[in-house]
A and B are shown apart, each in its own frame.
Chain A
């Protein structure tokens, strides 16, 4: 199947700093990528849809100025958590799905803000 690579897998940062997470589709082009967030023992919640060459679409309740998304090419989307706070600590995971087919997920990024 297709491969989606996410980096880094784990990051610890100080409160107030920004963290960038990368999501790459390695063997296919993805005009759309998705960013999810997962709190402990909860399911994945869609944060935003990343659209190549245009603005991301954010789900209700997700701060667009807090979670900056850039999808500059057909194989790369980035999520930047700006001015991170401890409550932003979570598991972030991206996915891409060739139109109407199987969704492929990155390995996830465990963010800890101290």
Chain B
């Protein structure tokens, strides 16, 4: 059974810092890995999608990497801003089109 773990569970940083969120998964038989952002009481916003054959994806200040063989992904946020404060979720898409989510990292960027 696929298990997705995110570390740390919560993170508080001053504005301007670069930070790394970690995600690990137990079964490497995945189609892709996706990073999402969730604001309190809201739905999910897709940030980055990495296909299983890819190593990384970049969008603006965000960079996500994937090491499928070791079951790890990282989300790098450069020059963090208070508006980045949210819960960040990673999820792997398994065969059968099933998404398995991690518990998330709650990020707070202090101004």
Interface string of B41-84 (1 = CB under 8 A from A): 11110100100000000000000000000000000000000000
A20 to B93, CA, bound (A): 27
Q: Is A34 within 8 A of B99, CB to CB?
A: yes
Cα(A104)–Cα(B45), bound, Å: 8
A110 contacts B by Cβ under 8 Å: yes
What is the bound-complex CA distance between A99 and B98, given in angstroms?
A: 11
Asked if residues A103 and B46 are in contact (CB atoms below 8 Å), the reply is: yes
Contact of A93 among B34, B43, B91, B103 (CB under 8 A): B43
Q: Does A91 contact B (CB under 8 A)?
A: yes
Interface size for chain B: under 10, 10 to 19, 20 to 34, or 35 or more residues?
A: 20 to 34
Asked if B89 and A107 make an inter-chain contact with CB atoms under 8 angstroms apart, the answer reads no
Q: Does B32 belong to the interface (CB within 8 Å)?
A: yes
Q: Is the CB of A91 within 8 A of B41?
A: yes
B25 contacts the other chain (CB 8 A): no
Interface check A43, CB cutoff 8 A: yes
Assembly CA distance A32 to B104 (angstroms): 25
